[in-house]
Amino acid sequence: MPEGVMANAVGLDECEQRVLLLPPTARDGEAIGVLLSDAGISYVPCETMTQACGQIARGAAVLMCSEESLAIGAEHLAACLQSQPFWSDLPIIVLARTGVESPTLAAAVARAGNVTVVERPVRIGTLLSVVRAALRARGRQYEVRAHMAERAAAEAALQRSEARYRALATASSEVAYSLSPDWAVLQPLDGRGLVASNTEPISDWLTKNIYPADIPVVMAAIAKVIAEKSLFQLEHRVNRPDGSVGWTFSRAVPILDEHGEIAEWFGSAADITDRKRAEVALAVSEQRLRQAKEASGLGIHEYDVANGTIHWDERVRSLWGVGPDEVITFELFMSGLHPDDRAPTQAAVERAFDPSGEGAYAAEYRVTSRVDGRTRWVAASGQVTFIAGKAVRLIGTTQDITARKRAEEDLRASEERFRRLVEGAPFGMYIVDSDFRIAHMNTRSQEGAFVNVRPLIGRSFEEAVRILWPEPVAQSLIREFRHTLTTGEPYYSSNFVNTRADKDQVEGYEWELQQIDMPDGRKGVICYYYDSSDLRRVEAALRASEEQFRTFTDTAPAMLWVTDTEGMCTFLSRGWYEFTGQTEAEALGTGWTTATHPEDRERSGREFLAANKSRASHFAIEYRLRRADGQYRWAMDIGRARFASDGRFLGYVGNVIDIDEQKRAADELARHRENLQALVHERTLQLEQSHRQLRLSERMAALGTLSAGLGHDMGNLLVPIRVRLDSLARAELPETLKQDVAAIQTSAEYLRKLSGGLRQLALDPSRSAANDVTELRAWWDEAEAILRTTLPRGVTLCSRVAREECWIRLARPALTQAVFNLVQNAGDAMRESGGVVSVWSECSKEAVRLGVTDNGPGMTPDVKARCIEPFFTTKTRGISTGMGLTLVYGIVAEAGGNVEIDTEPGNGTTFILTFRRGAPPSKAGAMGHNGKTAAIEVRDARLRALVTAELRSLAFDVIPRHGQALPDLLVVDDAARLNGDIGQTGVVLLGTSAGGRSGVVAIGARPSPKVIRDAITKLAGRGEEVR
Partner 1 sequence: MNTSNATADTVHPARPISVLCVDDNRHLAEALRIAFEHAGFVWRGWLPGAEVLAATVRKEGPAVVILDIDMPGRSPFDALEELVEVCPDCRAVVFSGHVRHDLIDRAFAAGAWGYVSKSDGEVALMQAVREVCRNEIATSPEVRYAYEKGA
Give 301-341 as a 3 state SS string: EEEECCCCEEEECHHHHHHHCCCCCCCECHHHHHHCECHHH
CA distances from 906 to 827, 830, 834, 902 (A): 16, 12, 14, 12
Region from 541-549, 723-731, 977-985, 987-995 binding partner 1, contact rule CB under 8 A = 723-731
Residue placing its CB nearer to partner 1 in the complex, 355 or 715: 715
Out of 363, 811, 895, 966, point to the residue binding partner 1 (CB under 8 A). 811
Query: In the window 896-925, what residues touch partner 1 (CB under 8 A)?
Result: none
Q: Tell me if 1010 contacts partner 1 by CB under 8 A.
A: yes
Region from 217-225, 303-311, 699-707, 758-766 binding partner 1, contact rule CB under 8 A = 758-766
Count CB-CB contacts under 10 A for residue 506.
Answer: 12
Q: Tell me if 732 contacts partner 1 by CB under 8 A.
A: no
Q: Do the Cβ atoms of 64 and 22 come closer than 8 Å?
A: yes
35 CB contacts (<8 Å, ≥6 apart)? 124, 127, 128
Region from 397-405, 432-440, 719-727, 973-981 binding partner 1, contact rule CB under 8 A = 719-727
* Distance between CA atoms of residues 111 and 21, nearest Å: 19
- Best CA proximity match to 436, nearest among 480, 473, 467, 496: 480
* Distance between CA atoms of residues 562 and 587, nearest Å: 12
Residue placing its CB nearer to partner 1 in the complex, 224 or 1006: 1006
Amino acid at 388: A
> Least distance (Å) from partner 1 to the CB of residue 837?
27
> Least distance (Å) from partner 1 to the CB of residue 870?
21
CA 95 centroid distance within chain: 108
Out of 193, 756, 896, 999, point to the residue binding partner 1 (CB under 8 A). 756
**972: helix, strand or coil:** strand
CA distances from 150 to 145, 146, 153, 387, 587 (A): 9, 6, 5, 19, 132
Residue placing its CB nearer to partner 1 in the complex, 565 or 953: 953
Q: Tell me if 683 contacts partner 1 by CB under 8 A.
A: no
Q: Tell me if 681 contacts partner 1 by CB under 8 A.
A: no
| 584-589: Cβ within 8 A, 24+ apart | none
CA distances from 214 to 190, 236, 521 (A): 22, 6, 32
Q: Which helix (H) or strand (E) holds 1011?
A: helix 1009-1020
Give the binding-site size for partner 1 (rule: CB under 8 A). 41
Region of 896 (left: φ > 0; alpha: ψ -120 to 50; beta: rest) is left
Out of 376, 699, 788, 944, point to the residue binding partner 1 (CB under 8 A). 944
Q: Tell me if 977 contacts partner 1 by CB under 8 A.
A: no
- Best CA proximity match to 895, nearest among 904, 884, 887, 903: 887
Region from 36-44, 130-138, 450-458, 714-722 binding partner 1, contact rule CB under 8 A = 714-722
Query: In the window 435-454, what residues touch partner 1 (CB under 8 A)?
Result: none
Residue placing its CB nearer to partner 1 in the complex, 431 or 947: 947
Q: Tell me if 958 contacts partner 1 by CB under 8 A.
A: yes
Region from 47-55, 211-219, 310-318, 712-720 binding partner 1, contact rule CB under 8 A = 712-720
Region from 3-11, 579-587, 882-890, 947-955 binding partner 1, contact rule CB under 8 A = 947-955
> Least distance (Å) from partner 1 to the CB of residue 748?
11
> Least distance (Å) from partner 1 to the CB of residue 1012?
9
Out of 190, 539, 726, 900, point to the residue binding partner 1 (CB under 8 A). 726
> Least distance (Å) from partner 1 to the CB of residue 813?
7
CA distances from 242 to 250, 271, 433 (A): 20, 14, 25
> Least distance (Å) from partner 1 to the CB of residue 787?
19
Count CB-CB contacts under 10 A for residue 471.
Answer: 10
Out of 353, 1011, 1017, 1021, point to the residue binding partner 1 (CB under 8 A). 1011
> Least distance (Å) from partner 1 to the CB of residue 829?
29
Largest CA distance in the chain: 215
CA distances from 618 to 602, 604, 624, 847 (A): 20, 15, 20, 75
Region from 306-314, 544-552, 716-724, 876-884 binding partner 1, contact rule CB under 8 A = 716-724
The DSSP 8-state label assigned to residue 454 in this structure reads: -
Residue placing its CB nearer to partner 1 in the complex, 175 or 773: 773
967 CB contacts (<8 Å, ≥6 apart)? 933, 934, 935, 959, 961, 985
Q: Tell me if 1008 contacts partner 1 by CB under 8 A.
A: yes
> Least distance (Å) from partner 1 to the CB of residue 769?
5
245 CB contacts (<8 Å, ≥6 apart)? 211, 237, 238, 239
Q: Tell me if 700 contacts partner 1 by CB under 8 A.
A: no
Residue placing its CB nearer to partner 1 in the complex, 80 or 935: 935
- Best CA proximity match to 465, nearest among 525, 388, 533: 525
Q: Tell me if 755 contacts partner 1 by CB under 8 A.
A: yes
Q: Tell me if 733 contacts partner 1 by CB under 8 A.
A: no
> Least distance (Å) from partner 1 to the CB of residue 849?
25
Out of 620, 723, 798, 879, point to the residue binding partner 1 (CB under 8 A). 723
Residue placing its CB nearer to partner 1 in the complex, 665 or 731: 731
- Best CA proximity match to 499, nearest among 462, 459, 469, 465: 469
> Least distance (Å) from partner 1 to the CB of residue 904?
38
> Least distance (Å) from partner 1 to the CB of residue 941?
5
Residue placing its CB nearer to partner 1 in the complex, 175 or 763: 763
First CA to last CA distance, the chain: 140
> Least distance (Å) from partner 1 to the CB of residue 725?
10
Region from 236-244, 484-492, 494-502, 1007-1015 binding partner 1, contact rule CB under 8 A = 1007-1015
- Best CA proximity match to 64, nearest among 24, 17, 101: 24
Q: How many helices (H) and strands (E) does the chain have?
A: 27, 36
Residue 808 β-bridge partners: 774, 917
Residue placing its CB nearer to partner 1 in the complex, 566 or 726: 726
* Distance between CA atoms of residues 916 and 810, nearest Å: 9
| CB hemisphere CA count around 243 (13 angstroms) | 0
Q: Tell me if 701 contacts partner 1 by CB under 8 A.
A: no
Out of 311, 724, 962, 1022, point to the residue binding partner 1 (CB under 8 A). 724
Q: Tell me if 961 contacts partner 1 by CB under 8 A.
A: no
> Least distance (Å) from partner 1 to the CB of residue 991?
13
| CB hemisphere CA count around 53 (13 angstroms) | 19
165 CB contacts (<8 Å, ≥6 apart)? none
Q: Give the x/- contact pattern for partner 1 in 764-793, rule: CB under 8 A.
A: x--x-x------------------------
Q: Tell me if 941 contacts partner 1 by CB under 8 A.
A: yes
Q: Tell me if 727 contacts partner 1 by CB under 8 A.
A: yes
CA distances from 75 to 85, 109, 609 (A): 18, 11, 169
Out of 117, 137, 568, 946, point to the residue binding partner 1 (CB under 8 A). 946
Instruction: Name the CA dihedral angle for 104, 106, 108, 112, rounded to a multiple of 10 degrees.
Output: 180
> Least distance (Å) from partner 1 to the CB of residue 956?
13
Out of 97, 752, 849, 875, point to the residue binding partner 1 (CB under 8 A). 752
Query: Which residues form the interface with partner 1 (CB under 8 A)?
Result: 711-716, 718-724, 726-727, 730, 752, 755-756, 759, 763-764, 767, 769, 811, 813, 941-942, 944-946, 948-949, 953, 958, 1006-1011
